[in-house]
Amino acid sequence: MDIKQIRTLIAIAETGSATRAGELLHLVQPAVSRHIRMLEDECGVPLFERERHGMVLTDAGRTLVEYGRRALRELDKARAEIGPAAHAISGRVVIGLLASVSRLLAAELIARLRIKHPNVILGVNVGYSGNVMQWLEGGEVELALVYDTRSSTGLQVEALLDEQLYVIAPPGELAADQPFPLKQLENQPMVFPNHVHGLRGLIEHALAVAGIGVNVVAETNALDLQRSLVAKGFGYTILPSSAVLDELQQGSLSGAPVGSPDLSRRVVLARAAARKPSPAGVAVAAELVALMKEMVQAGAWPGATWIGR
């Protein structure tokens, strides 16, 4: 098997269509079919089930896709280390990250940049959506992850993912596989982010539409304090899973996706349209988007659905 065959396999797995995979890879249909046939011949097992609505991976196919992605990532790392072009990109880039996603993304992004673009220095400003938008509009950050910003002007925005929101409770009270109806929050003590956090407006709008009244016992601009107050039993809160992933895995908090109706937020990559991105900024943006996509597709970002390129 070779790299072209593996890329074809992954493209079909992601699109569910040999035709669409050919378009993405700029391959004619016979070449796509030949790549998959050669892989199946070499592996000795079918990699896809051909169904009326598309191509679905078999168990063997899923295994090969997983290892294929790893192999391509390692090759990309090797190419970055030995390729002179990558080292030509240098400079300092400051990005803005939402407090809820910074713990999930920041360290891994820095690690990837050290391998692919070692001459790029990354600065990370972390805050709630209101803070991040101010930094972006004021030129303090070159690019940022924020909530959907349809009402904002002067920004170039790329939608990346939709993230299901979770009801977060003290340990042992909620199960992640059992959606929590919004109506059950009626009169429930709640610990909320303050109003500078775009999530606060999203939650209050959903509660108002559903005619649900809650008892806000505390509000804070510190995500760590918000998590701590819930863990100590002061009330419930609503957050994306990315904000509490470690606590959910460790059992210090419990959570369940909001259901009836579903409640989600859209995370977008935003830049100031009037400012030309630096080469280093373009490289950082590409790595950030690639990292987020990989995490969603690998199931490392619970409740997230990838909608970007």
Tell which wins on pLDDT, 83 or 192.
Answer: 192
Domain residue extents for the chain: 3-82, 87-161+266-306, 163-264
Region 163-264: CATH code:
3.40.190.290
pLDDT of residue 188: 94
Region 3-82: CATH code:
1.10.10.10
In the DSSP assignment, the letter for residue 255 is E
Inform me whether the pLDDT recorded for 25 exceeds 70.
Answer: yes
Residues in CB range of 272: below 8 A, 6 or more apart = 136, 137, 139, 154, 155, 156
Contact criterion met (CB below 8 Å) for 277 and 271: yes
Q: Is 189 helix (H, G, I), strand (E, B) or coil?
A: strand
| b/e per residue 246-284 (b: at least 16 CB within 10 A) | ebbeeeebbbbbbbeeebbbbbbbbbbeeeebbebbbbb
Contact criterion met (CB below 8 Å) for 258 and 166: yes
Task: Assign a CATH topology to domain 87-161+266-306.
Answer: D-Maltodextrin-Binding Protein; domain 2 (3.40.190)
pLDDT of residue 81: 56
pLDDT of residue 114: 93
Inform me whether the pLDDT recorded for 194 exceeds 50.
Answer: yes
Residue 258 identity: V
Contact criterion met (CB below 8 Å) for 304 and 296: yes
The reply to whether the predicted model has a pTM over 0.75 is no
Across the chain, mean pLDDT equals 90
Burial class (CB within 10 angstroms; exposed 0-12, middle 13-18, buried 19+) of 142: buried
pLDDT of residue 74: 74
Pairing between β-strand 254-259 and β-strand 180-181 as defined by DSSP bridges:
parallel
Tell me, yes or no, if the two domains 3-82 and 163-264 fold the same way.
Answer: no
Distance in angstroms (rounded) separating the CA atoms of residues 264 and 276: 32
pLDDT average, residue stretch 123-148: 89
pLDDT of residue 80: 55
Residue 191 identity: V
Inform me whether the pLDDT recorded for 41 exceeds 90.
Answer: yes
pLDDT average, residue stretch 157-175: 95
Q: Given pLDDT bands bounded at 50, 70 and 90, which one contains residue 149?
A: low
**Which residues are 45's β-sheet partners?**
none
Distance in angstroms (rounded) separating the CA atoms of residues 265 and 165: 7
Q: Given pLDDT bands bounded at 50, 70 and 90, which one contains residue 86?
A: very low
Q: Given pLDDT bands bounded at 50, 70 and 90, which one contains residue 273?
A: confident
Contact criterion met (CB below 8 Å) for 8 and 38: no
Q: For 225-246, write each residue's pLDDT tens digit.
A: 999 999 999 999 999 999 999 9
Contact criterion met (CB below 8 Å) for 90 and 47: no
Distance in angstroms (rounded) separating the CA atoms of residues 52 and 61: 18
Residue 235 identity: G
